[in-house]
């Protein structure tokens, strides 16, 4: 997704028409090496062919990212208790739908004010010049742009729901359905696109040189900050903490949680790979392949590091920690899969996996109840991954990375606190103790996920 600033985006796409472009920011390292050896450049690709492949990349990678919604749903469903499964599934399909609508109506124009193809006038049925609005105008090929504008919008839209999914898992099992949905409107319609415009929309962070290829900070830590504020405001689940004792409230299905993790791992290839933002040249294809490999190796290292850390810390390997280790590695590499080697990707992902385990323990000692460990995965490792770009890439200033992290963190946290506070004041955030005890499936939607097994049977 990494919708980089549209200026850089269009420049990269137009360069692909020449059949080859000089890799920038570490992109296309293998391609650059090929040219350095004096090998001939590849044949020129016509603008129409480049347009087709760029659009195809957006659509296919966007579909992979959309499939991550299923991964989040399965992961969260597996890590909650059976009495809350139907509600968490409903929240996941609802948040994806609301995110898409809000990004269409408001978010895209806020995030990309210079390129917005959807305006209030168009929504009302008129083009910006006052003439009747023709949907075909959007779909018409623009070879100068180098891609279908609709495909670009779709690819960027599917990223929005990812941030909201982080919040869903963290505050599960005790938060009112409609209170959560109201917050999703605020997060996806305003908070996410405004901070996204600072970098990917060509804003002030982009001008400073802040680098976040596919969104370790811009997507994942945004969800993490919103989730942290929400968890602090809604409080822990009943029975999670007894005095100084931390009680385990295990999820009901490890197979579902494992399936969700594998789906997310697969979808991440679209998340990071598609963030190359072009497939109209051999250089772009090579660069995308490098991103795929680095993404995979970081996730694998995250799993192994989480297993080792859990064994050393708890005396045994923990499956949920290992699953989150994979996601921690993925989040960690998301900021810089284009400027890493496979070995460096494993180092970054492995550190992320270990950090995730330590963070889960630390947050519990602070009496912060995160049902699925999303704050540790998306916030902590999102920050780490963004810092890693500045640490390991001499072309990126570490102080600029820190400024970006702090600015986005402060903005999202303050806005989230205001939104959660207003929602709590008007409709309340938390269900009653009786409803929490009986389960949100019965209290909120009147439907059990496993009715044949009886009420709260496992």
CATH number at residue 155: 1.10.3430.10
Maximum distance among all alpha carbons in the chain?
73
- Closest alpha carbon to 393 in 203, 218, 219, 211: 211
The answer to the question of residue 89 being in a domain is yes
Say if CB 80 and CB 252 are below 8 A apart. Answer: yes
**Per DSSP, what are the bridge partners of residue 175?**
430
Q: Domain of 58?
A: 6-33+45-116+133-450
Question: Which residue is listed with tokens 């499939």?
Answer: 67
Domain count along the chain: 1
- Note whether residue 126 is domain-resident: no
Q: What tokens appear for 69 in the block?
A: 């919604």
According to DSSP, the β-strands at 245-246 and 241-242 are antiparallel
- What was the pLDDT predicted at 27? 33
Task: Give the pLDDT confidence score for residue 135 in this predicted structure.
Answer: 47
Does residue 268 sit within a domain? yes
Structure token digits, residue 399: 């102080």
Q: What whole-number distance in Å separates Cα of residue 166 and Cα of residue 380? A: 13
Sign of the CA dihedral running 71, 73, 79, 82: negative
State the virtual CA torsion across 11, 15, 17, 23 in degrees, nearest 10. -140
Q: Which of 182, 168, 89, 95 is nearest to 445 (CA)?
A: 89
- Residue 132 phi, psi (nearest 5): -55, 135
- Both tokens of 160, joined, read 């929005």
Domain for residue 456, yes or no? Answer: no
Q: Angle at Cα 214 formed by Cα 210 and Cα 220, nearest 5°?
A: 90
Of 267, 91, 239, 101, nearest to 170 (Cα)?
91
Residue 394 within a domain: yes
Residue 444 in domain: yes
Q: Please work out, in degrees rounded to the nearest 5, the angle formed at the alpha carbon of residue 420 by the alpha carbons of 178 and 120.
A: 75
223 by Cβ neighbours in 10 Å (0-12 / 13-18 / 19+) ranks as buried
The answer to whether the beta carbons of residues 423 and 179 sit under 8 Å apart is yes
- In the three-class reduction of DSSP (H, G, I as helix; E, B as strand; rest coil), residue 241 is classed as strand
Query: Is 241 inside any structural domain?
Result: yes
Whether residue 145 is contained in a domain is answered as yes
Residue 121 confidence (pLDDT) = 40
Regions of the chain where pLDDT drops below 70: 1-43, 115-143, 454-458
Note the pLDDT of residue 35: 39
Looking at residue 210, its pLDDT comes to 98
Residue 352 to residue 348: CA distance in whole angstroms: 6
What CA–CA distance (Å, rounded) separates 275 from 2?
A: 5
| Number of C-beta neighbours around residue 43 at 10 A | 8
Rounded to whole angstroms, the Cα distance separating 20 from 283 reads 6
Q: What's the rounded Cα separation, in Å, for the pair 290 and 311?
A: 32
* Nearby residues of 38 by Cβ (< 8 Å), 6 or more positions away: none
pLDDT digits (tens, 9 = 90+) for 343-370: 999 999 999 999 999 999 999 999 999 9
In whole angstroms, give the CA distance from residue 441 to residue 425: 24
pTM attached to this predicted model: 0.88
């Amino acid at each position: 997704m990494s919708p980089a600033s549209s200026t850089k985006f269009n420049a990269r796409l137009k360069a692909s028409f020449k059949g080859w472009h000089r890799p920038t920011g570490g992109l296309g390292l293998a391609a650059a090496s090929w040219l350095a050896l004096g090998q001939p450049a590849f044949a020129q690709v016509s603008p129409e062919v480049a347009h087709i492949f760029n659009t195809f990349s957006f659509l296919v990678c966007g579909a992979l990212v959309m499939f991550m919604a299923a991964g989040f749903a399965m992961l969260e469903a597996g890590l909650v208790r059976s009495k809350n499964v139907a509600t968490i599934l409903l929240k996941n399909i609802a948040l994806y739908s609301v995110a898409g609508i809000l990004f269409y109506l408001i978010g895209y124009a806020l995030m990309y004010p210079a390129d917005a193809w959807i305006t209030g006038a168009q929504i009302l049925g008129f083009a910006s010049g006052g003439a009747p609005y023709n949907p075909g105008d959007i779909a018409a090929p623009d070879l100068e742009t180098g891609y279908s504008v609709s495909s670009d919008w779709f690819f960027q839209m599917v990223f929005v729901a990812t941030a909201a999914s982080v919040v869903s898992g963290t505050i599960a099992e005790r938060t009112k359905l409609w209170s959560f949905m109201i917050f999703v409107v605020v997060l996806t319609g305003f908070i996410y696109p405004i901070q996204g415009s600072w970098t990917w929309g060509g804003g002030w962070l982009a001008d400073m040189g802040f680098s976040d290829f596919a969104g370790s900070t811009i997507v994942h830590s945004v969800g993490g900050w919103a989730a942290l504020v929400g968890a602090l405001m809604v409080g822990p689940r009943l029975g999670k903490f007894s005095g100084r004792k931390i009680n385990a409230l295990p999820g009901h299905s490890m197979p579902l949680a494992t399936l969700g993790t594998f789906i997310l791992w697969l979808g991440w290839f679209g998340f990071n790979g598609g963030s190359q933002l072009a497939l109209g040249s051999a250089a772009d294809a090579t660069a995308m392949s490098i991103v795929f490999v680095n993404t995979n190796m970081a996730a694998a290292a995250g799993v192994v590091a989480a297993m080792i850390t859990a064994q050393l810390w708890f005396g045994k390997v923990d499956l949920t920690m290992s699953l989150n280790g994979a996601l921690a590695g993925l989040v960690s590499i998301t900021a810089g899969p284009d400027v890493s080697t496979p070995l460096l990707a494993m180092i970054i992902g492995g550190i992320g996996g270990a950090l995730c385990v330590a963070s889960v323990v630390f947050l519990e000692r602070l009496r912060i109840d995160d049902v699925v460990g999303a704050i540790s995965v998306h916030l902590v490792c999102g920050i780490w991954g963004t810092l890693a770009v500045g640490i390991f890439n001499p072309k990126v200033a570490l102080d600029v990375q820190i400024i970006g992290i702090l600015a986005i963190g402060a903005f999202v946290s303050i806005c989230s606190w205001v939104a959660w506070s207003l929602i709590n004041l008007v409709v309340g955030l938390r269900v009653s103790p009786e409803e929490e005890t009986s389960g949100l499936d019965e209290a909120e939607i009147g439907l059990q996920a496993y009715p044949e097994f009886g009420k709260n049977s496992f």
